[in-house]
Structure 1
Amino acid sequence: MVASAATAALLFLAGCSADTTAQLKRIGLPEAASDRAPAIGDLWIGSWIAAGIVGVFVWGLIGWAVIKYRSDNNDMPKQNRYNLPMEIFYTTAPFVIIGVLFYYTILAQNTVTARSAEPEVTVNVTAQKWSWVFNYKSADNPDVGEDVWEGGTIQQTPDLYLPVGKSVRFNLRAADVNHSFWVPSFYYKLDVVAGRNNNFEMTPTKEGVFRGKCAELCGTYHSAMLFNVHIVSEEEYEAHLRGLAEAGNIGEARGPKDVDPQGEAKQDQGEEVGQR
């Protein structure tokens, strides 16, 4: 029976595309694009392995009890008030499992939340109703020579550009209500809390375009809070920043009024009409 199940599984995997097979190996996680992803990925897969071992063991005990104590009559089996070895086992086993998972969770957490003294790139992120603003600092980009920014509106999804292989620190702030900065391929997200500045650091490891979104239900147009993450070469990153400077996006934008003043006014008027 086991051999048949293994053969069926192999045939199933053989019929899958390379992308599907890779995703199955990651147990549903997206393609990784940051140096912090392996720690979370290993913890995720390890948790599934632990859960699988416990599940197989419990199913085995159930099967053993069903087969060993099956009977053709309805006589009640001998009743015991307690079974000391069994009680000790099912009391201590959960603590052992939780303790092991907690230990590896702490190791992963320490890896993911580690910060360097001087990151190579700093991006100040402002979350707002209902989009994002990304500010790039001139100190990290002397070839550009200016602080530049790019932002989105409820009608236009913004782009975030990052250089591959460079450590990036994200400073997060909210212009209004609570949001959450999430790029699934980074295997990390962090709340953007009104009145509090949060930050985290990571290094992009794979070039490509990845999706980002708000992971906190922040209001009416929460679903519009999307952005695209472009992980590119350093040359392409600097060229994009120079393009922002040439377009006049100079300085620091800290909210929707800096990105689209007319759109902000229209949104306020629309909310007032809706409330009436």
Structure 2
Amino acid sequence: MAGLGLVFGVVLAVASRLLKVEEDPRLDMVEEALPGSNCGACGLPGCRAFAEALLAGTTSPSGCSVSSPEAIDAIADMLGVDAGVAVARVARLHCAGGRAQAVQVADYQGVETCAGAALVGAAGKSCTWGCIGLGDCEVACSFGAITMNDNGLPVVAPALCTACGDCVTACPRDLFELLPADQHIIVQCSVPLAGEEALALCTVACDACGRCAQDAPPGLITMVGNLPVVDYSGGGPATPMVVQRCPTGAIRWVEGEQLQEQRPVEVAGRSHATVG
């Protein structure tokens, strides 16, 4: 048995020597220059994987949305490469139906998580497509970019958002989407119903009137499943004018944070509050 162990030991030693992959001596230095958050915003599983991609030339330093501009330039200088230009992205919420807008039909007293509440319905809301409002996204955000407002909706601070995607994963309703920060037309509803049927659930629901699609340049906005879909590659230019005739505020022109102000609007002769 001892002899067999010795043989295997020799085989492993030889295999280790023959199959050894030389590691770039710069790898540790590059990894140390990265923030170490391992957030995955770059699309890779951690900072070391990103460092390996940098050394392989398959990405650029600006691909790390967490690093400061100074750190990105330092890494570029270290590697003798161009820092690159990254398009800033931010998490946007496709719902504006908080406590003041979505109709409450029950008092939820279960586990205080969105994931738990989603298993039994809508945490008291009649709308089963909108934000549950228990803050799983806020807990999941490692960068403190999400806070729950008094209306029970998550507010993302663009300056703090790294587009890591943790909120996208945490939301059981798939309401978050990572969008380029310079795309300002945001659909703030996910209800696939139309007209009064949609408004019976939430006063800021999209009623599928289609006015935004009518007012937009051809190809920019199309109605799909009673909801507007924005495609910046399909047409343009995008201007605030395309959302101005929306009767409920379900589609908004957003610069900076979402959901910061409420204003009264009229819908079919009745007044209610909408979140902007």
Q: For the superposition of Structure 1 and Structure 2, which TM-score range results when normalised by the shorter chain? A: under 0.3
**Bigger share in strand:** 1
Whose radius of gyration is greater, 1 or 2?
Answer: 1
Which gives a bigger RCO, structure 1 or 2 (Cα 8 Å, sep 6+)? 1
**Bigger share in helix:** 1
TM-score (normalizing by structure 2): 0.23
TM-score (normalizing by structure 1): 0.23
